[in-house]
Amino acid sequence: MVLSRVLCPTLIGRDSELSTLEDALLSALRGDGGVVIVGGEAGMGKTRLVNTLASRARTLGCVVVAGGCSEAELSLPYLPFLEAIGNYLTTADAGDLGQRLGPAAGELAQLFPQLGAPSGSSTDSVQAKLRLFESILILLRDAAGHRALLVILEDLQWADPATRELLDYATRRLRSTNVLIVATYRTDEMHRKHALLPTIQGWRRSGQVELVDLRPLTPQQVASMVCAIFEERSISDEFRDFLHERSEGNPFVLEEMLRDAIDRGDVFRTETGWDRKAVAEIRIPPNVRDTILQRLERLSREDVAVLSAASVMGRSFDVESLAEVAQVDGTAVLSALEASVAAQLIEEEDRRSGGYRFRHALTREAIYEDLVAPRRQRLHSRVADVMDSRHDREPVDQANQLFMAGRNQDAVAMSIAAADSALQGRAYRDAAELLERAAPYVSDEAERARMLCRAGEAYHYNAESQSARRLLEAAIPGLEKAGFAVEGAIHRITLGRSLWELMRSDLAREQFEQARAVLEPNGPSEALANLYIRIASLSTFNADHRTAIEFARKAAKTAELAGANLPSVWSLNFLGLSEVGLGEVDAGFAHLDQSYQGALAGGYDFQVGNAVYNAIWLAVHLGRGDEVAKWKERISVMPQIGFEPWPTYASAFIALERGQIGEAIRFAQAAVQKAREGGHKKMAWRAHVLLAHALAENLRADEASNLMPPVSSRVDQQDVTYDAMPRVRCCLAAGDFAGAEREVRLVRPEGCEHGSPLDAVAEGTRDAKWLREFIAKIPAQGEVLGSPRIAAARGRLALYEGRFDDACQALSSAVDAFETGSFQLDAWHVGSALADAEFSSGQADVARNRLRRIAADAQAASALLAARVARETASR
Ligand SMILES: Nc1ncnc2c1ncn2[C@@H]1O[C@H](COP(=O)(O)OP(=O)(O)OP(=O)(O)O)[C@@H](O)[C@H]1O
Ligand SMILES: [Mg+2]
């Protein structure tokens, strides 16, 4: 009897690795899911290990789905997820599922047409991508049902960018779900510049992913494996050590070596069992590739030709296409396949009928690499032609085959088609790479520049500003030179935006001006309106409200003339912001309101959120309680899939100002989490600052100052409005008055155009002379001058200067306004200063009563800092 397949029937070793995986699965069953990554050299047993876990999972009643990445240079975005989820969808009732998924179904329809019509809501590209990611996770949670879902993703070393991003996102979002993702990758492919490497290093550092490394088998384990394969009790130490040394403990290599040894007759069957030649006589090829190729030599030339053709098609292939590619008849193909199965080179694929696959990726690689280049190219070319007649072909696969065939020109059209569908699926990076890959083969210069500009835009959608800048700067002049000035100008708007994100406002402005010079003479257009909005927002960030208002008006007008509704609605937002900056507070809020209503009616989610966020932010900083109350109701209006941090931030901010400290802490913690998960750097910074503030109010001074980002992390002029008060309160909570003095010295008067953070400055200092000069320099004007925050600052100055009646008057007007506006926290803090002034102006009883009330109310609301300040003021 001859062993037909020399494969190990049982799992050898790997106890601790398996138990790590099983623990993760049990955690997922308890609702504590996550991601585990299994790394190891090619053939080290990753697939074997995760398959073992998969069968355990099925025994436990879990749902298991699996997908793998393709080794082809270009592959479909999200490929392993598409495979895994696609398999699940074939078993699910699409109607029921659509119901359960709610709005997520519309997002998922981008990738899975069986789920209905895609929802095409106009929104910011990064948000659109996150929404898609979130929807995929919702689908996975649904698939988990009452048990758990195990998702196996194989061969991450070949993952496309979208897959890497989605998986990275999942690592942050699967806690507290019953979904476990186990992904494998080859460690020996992680060369220094491998795209997966930074992701893996990030996971290693953050610890948010469990990493399992598969090491080589020990000599003893090699012996056990040989015994299991040959059903023997033991092997000699000499043979064991020989095999261990030659295979380097790699199970795949070991199996292949043994197979080879049998084929050569170095290991053979006797009456009593297995026997072998003396170790010195056993000739084993120097590497695994050669062992595989040796086996190829034992096949007929015709069979080898068929198998070589198959290796060009990929890891899996179907008989019919193979016959066409190899240009032989069906019988010849079948006989070649039979011989190859017997030689342990390929196996039948159980999932698809008529499908076969190489026994191992390494098997395919060895055979493929043995082909001489011209033959390889011819075969790729034929595969591409055969694909033409297949209705289910993917442009990206065909592009890949055409590139490999050296038919670069033909590959261009396919690459563009593939990039278009990648963009639809929010796989921006994949799209950019496809366009960049194909562009050099386009002979028409303008067309080539156009493709590179599109690639630049795609990087911009993916918030990869550096790459966007690189491509756009290089390619825009090509478009312009060929006479496409307007197209070039539109890309310059994106380039300007990327530059702004790279904190080069100066260069951004240059780009905007260049675009303007081209677009303006052509009359109103949507692009011109958008450009004006960009200029307005750039000016707002620089606190140049006059320029901002001018361009917001131009944007509105232009949008109207061009019949472009979105910029028309959005421009009102900037109009409102700049009006408030110039002191026209009521007019500004009215425009923000109009922007909000218009965005709601138009279904512009991003602009709805933008209006609500801006309005709440302004209202709190201005001390306008009526506006806070009005806009707060709108936080919940926006359709949410649950990851946007800004509504949570706004809720935390309002709770804090209202003196609801416990709630503020909870919301701020959630905002930090969401901002991190969504990769919103700016929002994460803001949420950290807010959380630190809330903790300081709760007298958790150490925690607060540990959380507070360094002053050097301020980027926009506006940032000081976010963090000045939190920094001052952190110092006060720690009893560090000198620290507070230092903090307020870092605020500049120009930053106080909305009133805030002037109140923080006055609270943090005792230097009356300095404060007087500071207040004289603030640019606040118009209705802003009525802000209770400014009154509070003036009142404190009067107190420090010993003008107690003035102090009482200003401070009590501030306290009244804060109380009416439900800014309880401000009312308490400023109330203590008022009591201080009351003591000094001879109203001790009034002061004591006030302080007693503040201490009691603040204490009850966990506003422990405000309560302590009140008690300390009373005891002075
Ligand atoms: N612990 C083990 N016990 C028994 N057989 C094993 C073990 N590990 C691996 N094998 C066998 O070795 C061969 C290679 O293993 P596997 O396919 O799991 O490697 P891999 O790490 O997934 O390789 P690749 O990176 O190429 O995908 C398979 O035939 C597998 O069954
Ligand atoms: Mg594998």
Residues 858, 789 share a domain: yes
H/E element holding 64?
strand 63-68
Domain range enclosing 279: 219-284
CA of 252 to the centre of ligand 1 (A): 6
Q: Is residue 869 part of a domain?
A: yes
Q: Which of 170, 245, 160 is nearest to 203 (CA)?
A: 170
Q: Which of 403, 396, 398, 441 is nearest to 419 (CA)?
A: 396
Residues 43, 178 share a domain: yes
pLDDT digits (tens, 9 = 90+) for 205-252: 888 899 999 999 999 999 999 999 988 888 899 999 999 998 999 999
Q: Is residue 257 part of a domain?
A: yes
Q: Is the CB of 484 under 6 A from ligand 1?
A: no
Residues 256, 229 share a domain: yes
Q: Is residue 230 part of a domain?
A: yes
Q: What is d(CA 607, CA 595) in angstroms, rounded to the nearest whole number? A: 8
Q: Is a pLDDT exceeding 70 seen at residue 7?
A: yes
Tokens of 641: 């899939």
> Is the distance from CB of 668 to CB of 691 less than 8 angstroms?
yes
Q: What is d(CA 244, CA 219) in angstroms, rounded to the nearest whole number? A: 5
State the number of CA atoms in the 13 A half-sphere of 671 facing the CB: 27
pLDDT of residue 120: 67
pLDDT digits (tens, 9 = 90+) for 430-479: 999 999 999 999 999 999 999 999 999 999 998 888 999 999 999 999 99
Q: What is the CATH number of the domain that holds 181?
A: 3.40.50.300
Q: What is the CATH number of the domain that holds 835?
A: 1.25.40
pLDDT of residue 149: 97
Residue type, 481: K
pLDDT of residue 234: 86
Residues 842, 784 share a domain: yes
* Pairing of the two strands 34-40 and 179-186: parallel
CA of 40 to the centre of ligand 1 (A): 10
pLDDT digits (tens, 9 = 90+) for 38-86: 999 999 999 999 999 999 999 999 999 999 999 999 999 999 999 999 9
pLDDT band at 288 (very low <50, low <70, confident <90, very high): confident
pLDDT digits (tens, 9 = 90+) for 266-285: 888 887 778 888 878 887 77
Alpha helices in 174-285 (DSSP H): 197-206, 219-230, 237-247, 251-264
Rg (the chain; Cα; Å): 34
pLDDT digits (tens, 9 = 90+) for 151-206: 999 999 999 999 999 999 999 889 889 999 999 999 999 888 899 998 999 898 88
Residues 145, 95 share a domain: yes
Q: Is a pLDDT exceeding 60 seen at residue 850?
A: yes
> Is the distance from CB of 818 to CB of 802 less than 8 angstroms?
no
pLDDT of residue 554: 97
pLDDT band at 641 (very low <50, low <70, confident <90, very high): very low
Q: What is d(CA 520, CA 466) in angstroms, rounded to the nearest whole number? A: 28
Q: Chain-centre distance of CA 83, in angstroms?
A: 21
Q: Is a pLDDT exceeding 50 seen at residue 796?
A: yes
CA of 250 to the centre of ligand 1 (A): 8
pLDDT digits (tens, 9 = 90+) for 366-393: 999 999 999 999 999 999 999 998 888 8
| Averaged confidence pLDDT in the chain | 92
Residues 179, 76 share a domain: yes
Residues 724, 833 share a domain: yes
pLDDT of residue 353: 66
* Pairing of the two strands 34-40 and 210-213: parallel
Q: What is the mean pLDDT of residues 486-503?
A: 92
**What atom of ligand 1 comes closest to residue 154's alpha carbon?**
27
Q: What is d(CA 275, CA 619) in angstroms, rounded to the nearest whole number? A: 87
Q: Is residue 396 part of a domain?
A: no
Q: Is the CB of 371 under 6 A from ligand 1?
A: no
Residues 793, 760 share a domain: yes
CA of 710 to the centre of ligand 1 (A): 49
Q: What is d(CA 170, CA 35) in angstroms, rounded to the nearest whole number? A: 8
Residues 348, 266 share a domain: no
Q: List b or e across 500-521, with b for residues whose CB sees 16 or more CB atoms inside 10 angstroms.
A: bbeebbebbbebbebbbebbbe
Residues 848, 780 share a domain: yes
CA of 229 to the centre of ligand 1 (A): 14
**What atom of ligand 1 comes closest to residue 214's alpha carbon?**
21
Residues 353, 321 share a domain: yes
Q: Is a pLDDT exceeding 50 seen at residue 416?
A: yes
Task: Please state, in angstroms and as integers, the Cα–Cα distance from residue 383 to each residue in 52, 58, 352, 402, 593, following that order.
Answer: 35, 38, 20, 9, 59
Q: Is residue 812 part of a domain?
A: yes
H/E element holding 34?
strand 34-40
* Number of independent structural domains in the chain: 4
pLDDT band at 264 (very low <50, low <70, confident <90, very high): confident
Q: Is the CB of 43 under 6 A from ligand 1?
A: yes
- Report phi then psi at 8, rounded to 5: -80, 125
Q: What is d(CA 764, CA 207) in angstroms, rounded to the nearest whole number? A: 39
Out of 167, 183, 213, pick the residue that ends a domain. 213
CA of 427 to the centre of ligand 2 (A): 25
Q: Is the CB of 45 under 6 A from ligand 1?
A: yes
Out of 252, 284, 316, pick the residue that ends a domain. 284
Q: Is the CB of 42 under 6 A from ligand 1?
A: yes
Strand partners, 754: 756
10 Å Cβ neighbour count for 483? 10
Q: Is residue 767 part of a domain?
A: yes
Nearest ligand to the C-alpha atom of residue 43 = 1
Tokens of 537: 């927002």
Which residue's alpha carbon is at the smallest distance from atom 13 of ligand 1?
A: 252
Which residue's alpha carbon is at the smallest distance from atom 15 of ligand 1?
A: 45
**What atom of ligand 1 comes closest to residue 228's alpha carbon?**
4
Q: Is residue 646 part of a domain?
A: no
pLDDT digits (tens, 9 = 90+) for 538-555: 888 778 899 999 999 999
Q: Is residue 565 part of a domain?
A: no
Residues 109, 230 share a domain: no
Out of 165, 184, 213, pick the residue that ends a domain. 213
Q: What is the CATH number of the domain that holds 344?
A: 1.10.10.10
Q: Is the CB of 8 under 6 A from ligand 1?
A: yes
pLDDT digits (tens, 9 = 90+) for 119-131: 766 567 877 888 8
Q: What is the mean pLDDT of residues 27-32?
A: 96
Q: What is d(CA 420, CA 802) in angstroms, rounded to the nearest whole number? A: 70
Q: Which of 644, 676, 688, 670 is nearest to 172 (CA)?
A: 676
Q: Is the CB of 152 under 6 A from ligand 1?
A: no
Q: Is a pLDDT exceeding 60 seen at residue 1?
A: no
